[in-house]
Amino acid sequence: MINKIDVFKPSELAGIKLNNRILRAATDEGMADEKGSPTEKLIKLYEKLAKGGVGGIITGYMSVSKDGESTMPGMVMIEMDDRITKLSEVVNRVHEMSTPIIAQIAHCGRNGIAGKAFNVNKISEETIVRVIDDFTFATIRAKNAGFDGVELHLAHGYFLSEMLSPHTNKRKDKWGGTTENRVRIVKEIMKKIRKELPDYPILVKVNGDEIYKDGVHADEAARIGKMLEQFGVNAIEVSCGIDFRQMGPAKGKVPVEMIMHDYPGIKTLPKPVKALAKPLVPRLMKHTATARKYNVPSAKKIKEAVSIPVIAVGGIHDLTDIETTIYEDGIDFVSMSRPLIIEPGLINKFKQQKSQTARCLSCNYCLIGLYNEPVRCYYGKCKSV
């Protein structure tokens, strides 16, 4: 007989008191101002999520350095101490709603404004050491701003993800080759953080699966997870994806119409060229039929290897998805992104039995729309809904 946990009861994650076992997953909101500071619009979004019943909020990614910034507009920056005052306002407003908030910190690497200059196989050891310091200082800033913890972004093809993946990391020095060498950069980040903040909650987001044969898959992810626990990581969130072909974190339908309408380099093509290119778009990507709980198999594998909490994200849209992930699959927590874009109050709807299914279509239009404007739901339409 399954010992059912009430997913809506308060719980604790890495010492952080959550309202329930359902987290808002980090989502690129695109709501910073031109200087990289959070806007009132972003704070109000977090307030809506808090009112809507999430157990806790993981922010959209914040850049630990200027060269780690995204090419997408509106990324929040946490690269200098001057950011602390405005970030404290975010934290205080969310805490007023009795909801914890965790800062996700990242370096976008060659997928950001630095581009090819951050090819993992060519950057110097001096640069690697500097990035280690950047993550350390960003964590200290998050702590000083009042965030309940941080999440190191080790997934989705950003810099630390590329360092961890054997598909992208072909270095021949101590930072590449074996699993131990590829994970070394995270080990050094954790060592420096723990020297300054021995008890501060540190989560990580990892890829449990990558599209390429020589990428990270479940068994390797489990080995990495075990090492991360040894380094002092408090919890692991399991995602997938190393480049846009795998739709990064957003499996589901290939948003062909939105790509033709908004994607850089495609939206400006002449109409005849677009007509020729349109049928090719799905072929260039790993098309995945709308999937549910697609990271749970990898999360289970990691859970078997570690004793710290594991969080599953991806394709969790229904109350049944949440309950089976926790009751039957043995995962400690779940996190949700796309369903909460269209329905910030979804968790209260589940709890109050007003709904058991999210309205989200997994159309992925929101993912492409971010190239031009802050995150919102398009519900499968290119024009405003």
The per-residue pLDDT for range 357-381, each reduced to its tens digit, is: 999 998 899 999 999 999 999 999 9
Average pLDDT rounded to a whole number, residues 110-114: 94
Q: For residue 117, give the 3-state DSSP assignment.
A: helix
The per-residue pLDDT for range 74-106, each reduced to its tens digit, is: 999 999 999 999 999 999 999 999 999 999 999
Mean pLDDT of the chain: 93
**Token representation of residue 94:** 């969310």
Q: 56-58 and 22-24 as β-strands: parallel, antiparallel, unpaired?
A: parallel
Count how many Cα atoms sit within 13 Å of the Cα of residue 32 in the half-sphere of its side chain. Answer: 22
CA–CA dist 202, 118 (Å, integer): 25
Pick the closest to residue 315 from 274, 362, 254 (CA basis).
362
Pick the closest to residue 376 from 384, 332, 347, 39 (CA basis).
384
Contact 282, 254 (CB under 8 A): yes
**Token representation of residue 79:** 């690269």
Q: For residue 250, give the 3-state DSSP assignment.
A: coil
Who contacts 261 (Cβ-Cβ below 8 Å, separation ≥6)? Answer: 267, 368, 382
CA–CA dist 111, 64 (Å, integer): 15
Contact 56, 19 (CB under 8 A): yes
The pTM assigned to this predicted structure is 0.95
Maximum CA pair distance of the chain?
Answer: 61
Q: For residue 369, give the 3-state DSSP assignment.
A: helix
Instruction: Give residue 260's pLDDT band: very low, low, confident or very high (50, 70, 90).
Output: confident
Q: 16-18 and 11-13 as β-strands: parallel, antiparallel, unpaired?
A: antiparallel
Instruction: Give residue 1's pLDDT band: very low, low, confident or very high (50, 70, 90).
Output: very low
CA–CA dist 30, 294 (Å, integer): 26
Average pLDDT rounded to a whole number, residues 135-139: 98
Residue 256 CB-density burial (10 A; 0-12 exposed, 13-18 middle, 19+ buried):
middle
CA–CA dist 173, 21 (Å, integer): 41
Contact 72, 373 (CB under 8 A): no
289 has a pLDDT exceeding 60: no
249 has a pLDDT exceeding 70: no
129 has a pLDDT exceeding 70: yes
Average pLDDT rounded to a whole number, residues 211-221: 94
Pick the closest to residue 151 from 10, 24, 281 (CA basis).
24
**Token representation of residue 47:** 């307030």
Cβ neighbours around 286 below 10 Å, total:
14
Average pLDDT rounded to a whole number, residues 8-30: 97
Q: Is 293 left (phi over 0), alpha (psi -120 to 50) or beta?
A: left
